[in-house]
C-alpha cells in the first residue's frame, strides 16, 4: 500500500445519525440534506458506516477525482467487489479511466451529437401529437400519460430496443432500489421485478435489438474488437437503466414545478425557448438521481481537511449539492430564468457525467415546448404522489389539468 | 482583466473581459453571443461551442484532452486544424488578447 503523508490539522469525519433511506427521509430529503451540508465538508452516515458529501464543491471533487475516489466499487451503497455484495459491474459507470475512456469513446461515437441532432424533428413531431391529445383530454396524469408515454415512445425507437412499459418500470425500480441498502423498498422492488428478469436478460441480447439500430452498432463494435466480449450487452442494459426512468422523472418534476408556479409557467408562455433552462432548473431543484457513490482508494485520502479511511464508500448526495446555499442564491426557489446548465450536478460531472444528457434534454425540451405551445394554462388537478425509491426522487402520480383560453 | 475577441460568422467582432479561470464558452453565453450555443454547459457532450483559435495563440492554449478530441469530430461545421471547444479554453493571463472565430453552424 502506498504511504501518503497526511497533513497535520486534518480531522475525522463527524457522524450524522440519520438514515437517508428511511421512508420519511426519502419522502422529504431536504432536512437531511441541510444537516449533511452543515455537519461539515464530509460526514459519516452512522446507520450505514459510509461517508457522505452534500456540499456542491466537495461533491464535484469526489465525482471528478478518480485518483482519490474510484467508481469500480459501484455506484450504490454496497461495494460490489466484496463477497456477499458482488455483482457484475456496469462497464461504463463502474470503471475508471483509462479502461473507462476507451469504452466511453466507442459509445460516444455511436451516440454522438450528430446522431442525436438528427432525431430532433421526429421527437418534436411526436411531442406535438401527444400535446394535442392532452389538450383534448383536459385532465391527465403527468407521469403515466406524459413522461412515461413520451419517453417510452421515442427513446426505444431511436436506439432500437423494445421496452414494454410494465417491464421497464419494474426493472428500473429494482435497479434503483438495489443501489441502496437492503431495506423494505429493496426487497419489495426485487420481488416485483421477478416476473420480468428473464425478459431483461433476453432484451439485451443481440438477437433482441432491431436490425440496423444504434443498439446493433454496439454489437458490431464488439465484432470489430472495439469492445471486449460482453460489453455490448452490458451497454444495452445501460440504455434501459440510464435512458428511461431518469428522463421520465426529470420531465415529471418539470411539469410539477410549472404547475405549482404559475408565474414561471407565464415566463415560458412568453418565451417557449426558456423550456431549456426550465428543465435544467427542475432537475437542479428535484434531482432525479439523488445519490451516487464512489469508494476511497486503498490508502488514506484527505478531502477538504478531513481524513478518510481507505476502501470506504462515499455517497455524493447530488440533490443536496444542487440546493447548497454556498453555490445557489435562494436555492429552494424554482426560477426558469436561472441558467444552471453544466453547474448543477443532476447529470453528474467529470469522466462519468451522463453520456445521454443531450438525449434527455432533447426529449424534455420537445415535450415541454409542445405543451407550452398548445396549452394556455397548466394546473394541478389533485395531490401528486411520490414513488419512494432508494436512489431516486421520482413522482408516481401527477394529476394535471391544462386548458386553452 | 484579460480580453478575448470573438469574431462572429458575419465578421462582426465582440471584445469581452474574461476573468482568469472562466471558460470562453461561459463568458460568451453570459454576454449573449448567439454563435456560441454551449448546450451541455461544458460537459463535453454537445460540441456546440466550437471556435477556431487564431494560430499564434495555439501554443498558449491548454492541451486537447481525449474527450475534447473526440467531440471535435462531431462539430456541425466540421473540424479544422485550429478547432477547439470553447468550454475547454479556460482563461489565463497568457491568453490575454486571444482572438477566436466562432464556427458556423454549431447545430
* Ranges of each domain in chain B: 3-102
pLDDT digits (tens), chain B, 107 positions: 999 999 999 999 999 999 999 999 999 999 999 999 999 999 999 999 999 999 999 999 999 998 999 999 999 999 999 999 999 999 999 999 999 999 999 99
Which chain B residues contact residue A351 at CB under 8 A? 67
* Ranges of each domain in chain A: 11-311+320-403
Fold of the A11-311+320-403 domain: Cytochrome p450 (1.10.630)
- pLDDT for position A4: 53
Q: Nearest by CB to B107, from A108, A117, A351: name it.
A: A117
Pairwise CB contact (< 8 Å): B66 & A105 = yes
Distance, CA of A120 to CA of B27 (rounded, Å):
27
**Residues A246-252, mean pLDDT to the nearest whole number:** 97
Closest CA to A385 of A38, A121, A46, A26: A26
Distance, CA of A305 to CA of A13 (rounded, Å):
9
Distance, CA of A156 to CA of A210 (rounded, Å):
10
Classify the phi-psi angles of B102: left when phi > 0, otherwise alpha if psi is within -120 to 50, otherwise beta.
beta
Distance, CA of A350 to CA of A249 (rounded, Å):
22
- pLDDT for position A6: 55
- With an 8 Å Cβ cutoff, is B43 touching chain A? yes
Distance, CA of A284 to CA of B40 (rounded, Å):
14
Pairwise CB contact (< 8 Å): B76 & A112 = no
H or E element at residue B70: helix B66-72
Examine the pLDDT at A79 and tell me if it is beyond 60. Answer: yes
User: pLDDT tens, A162-186?
Assistant: 899 999 999 999 999 999 999 999 9
Which chain B residues contact residue A113 at CB under 8 A? 45-48, 71, 74
Pairwise CB contact (< 8 Å): A342 & B47 = no
Long-range CB pairs of A162-168, under 8 A, 24+ apart, other chains included: A162/A203, A162/A208, A162/A210, A163/A203, A163/A240, A163/A244, A164/A199, A166/A196, A167/A196, A167/A199, A167/A200, A167/A203, A168/A240, A168/A244
pTM, full prediction: 0.95
- pLDDT for position B2: 96
User: pLDDT tens, A119-157?
Assistant: 999 999 999 999 999 999 999 999 999 999 999 999 999
* Dihedral angle sign, alpha carbons of residues A20, A21, A22, A24: positive
Contact A66, A332 (CB under 8 A): no
- pLDDT for position A405: 64
- pLDDT for position A5: 54
C-alpha to C-alpha distances, A140 to A130, A146, A337, A378, A400, nearest whole angstrom: 12, 8, 27, 11, 6
Pairwise CB contact (< 8 Å): B38 & A341 = yes
Pairwise CB contact (< 8 Å): B66 & A113 = no
User: What is the three-class DSSP state of A373?
Assistant: helix
Pairwise CB contact (< 8 Å): B43 & A342 = yes
Task: CATH number for B3-102: choose from 3.40.250.10, 3.10.20.30, 3.40.640.10, 3.30.230.10.
Answer: 3.10.20.30
* Residue at grid coordinates 423498498: A185
User: What distance lies between CA A381 and its chain's CA centroid?
Assistant: 27
- With an 8 Å Cβ cutoff, is B62 touching chain A? no
**Least CA distance to A345: which residue of chain B?**
B43
- With an 8 Å Cβ cutoff, is B39 touching chain A? yes
C-alpha to C-alpha distances, A1 to A4, A94, A226, A300, A311, nearest whole angstrom: 9, 22, 33, 10, 12
Q: pLDDT band for position A268 (50/70/90)?
A: very high
Pairwise CB contact (< 8 Å): B43 & A112 = no
Contact A360, A254 (CB under 8 A): no
Contact A281, A335 (CB under 8 A): yes
Say what the ipTM of the complex is: 0.92
Which chain B residues contact residue A363 at CB under 8 A? none
Amino acid at each position: 500500500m502506498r504511504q501518503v503523508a497526511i497533513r497535520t490539522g486534518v480531522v475525522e469525519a463527524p457522524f450524522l445519525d440519520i438514515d437517508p433511506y428511511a421512508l420519511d427521509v426519502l419522502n422529504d430529503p431536504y432536512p437531511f440534506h441541510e444537516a449533511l451540508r452543515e455537519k461539515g465538508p464530509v460526514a459519516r452516515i452512522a446507520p450505514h458506516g459510509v461517508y457522505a458529501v452534500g456540499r456542491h464543491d466537495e461533491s464535484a471533487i469526489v465525482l471528478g477525482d478518480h485518483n482519490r475516489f474510484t467508481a469500480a466499487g459501484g455506484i450504490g451503497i454496497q461495494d460490489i467487489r466484496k463477497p456477499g455484495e458482488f455483482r457484475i459491474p456496469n462497464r461504463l459507470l463502474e470503471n475508471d479511466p483509462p479502461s473507462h475512456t476507451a469504452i466511453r469513446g466507442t459509445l460516444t461515437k455511436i451516440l454522438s451529437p450528430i446522431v442525436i441532432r438528427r432525431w430532433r424533428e421526429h421527437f418534436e413531431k411526436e411531442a406535438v401529437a401527444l400535446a394535442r391529445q392532452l389538450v383534448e383530454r383536459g385532465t391527465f396524469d403527468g407521469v403515466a400519460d406524459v413522461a412515461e408515454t413520451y419517453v417510452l415512445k421515442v427513446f426505444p425507437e431511436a436506439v432500437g430496443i423494445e421496452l414494454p412499459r410494465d417491464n421497464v418500470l419494474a426493472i428500473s425500480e429494482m435497479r434503483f432500489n438495489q443501489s441502496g441498502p437492503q431495506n423494505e423498498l429493496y426487497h419489495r422492488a426485487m420481488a416485483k421485478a421477478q416476473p420480468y428478469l428473464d425478459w431483461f436478460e433476453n432484451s439485451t441480447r443481440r438477437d433482441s435489438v432491431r436490425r440496423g439500430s444504434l443498439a446493433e452498432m454496439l454489437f458490431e463494435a464488439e465484432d470489430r474488437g472495439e469492445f471486449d466480449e460482453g460489453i455490448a450487452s452490458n451497454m444495452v442494459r445501460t440504455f434501459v437503466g440510464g435512458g428511461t426512468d431518469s428522463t421520465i422523472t426529470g420531465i415529471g418534476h418539470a411539469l410539477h414545478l410549472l404547475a405549482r408556479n404559475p408565474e414561471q409557467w407565464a415566463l415560458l408562455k412568453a418565451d417557449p425557448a426558456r423550456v431549456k433552462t426550465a428543465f435544467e432548473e427542475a432537475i437542479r431543484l428535484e434531482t432525479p438521481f439523488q445519490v451516487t457513490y464512489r469508494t476511497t482508494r486503498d490508502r488514506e485520502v484527505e478531502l477538504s481537511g478531513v481524513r478518510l479511511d481507505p476502501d470506504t464508500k462515499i455517497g455524493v448526495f447530488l440533490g443536496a449539492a444542487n440546493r447548497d446555499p454556498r453555490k445557489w442564491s435562494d436555492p429552494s426557489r424554482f426560477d426558469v430564468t436561472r441558467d444552471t446548465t453544466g453547474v448543477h450536478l443532476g447529470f453528474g460531472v467529470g469522466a462519468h457525467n451522463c453520456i445521454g444528457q443531450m438525449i434527455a434534454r432533447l426529449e424534455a425540451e420537445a415535450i415541454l415546448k409542445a405543451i407550452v405551445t398548445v396549452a394556455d394554462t397548466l394546473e394541478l388537478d389533485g395531490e401528486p404522489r411520490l414513488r419512494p425509491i432508494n436512489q431516486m426522487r421520482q413522482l408516481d402520480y401527477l394529476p394535471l389539468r391544462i386548458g386553452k383560453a | 482583466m484579460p480580453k478575448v475577441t470573438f469574431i462572429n460568422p458575419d465578421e462582426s467582432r465582440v471584445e469581452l473581459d474574461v476573468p482568469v479561470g472562466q471558460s470562453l464558452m461561459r463568458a460568451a453565453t453570459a454576454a449573449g453571443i448567439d454563435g456560441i450555443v454551449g448546450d451541455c454547459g461544458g460537459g463535453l457532450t454537445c460540441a456546440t461551442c466550437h471556435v477556431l483559435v487564431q494560430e499564434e495563440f495555439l501554443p498558449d492554449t491548454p492541451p486537447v484532452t481525449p474527450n475534447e478530441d473526440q467531440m471535435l469530430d462531431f462539430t456541425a461545421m466540421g473540424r479544422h486544424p485550429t478547432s477547439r471547444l470553447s468550454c475547454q479554453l479556460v482563461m489565463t493571463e497568457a491568453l490575454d488578447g486571444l482572438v477566436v472565430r466562432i464556427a458556423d453552424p454549431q447545430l
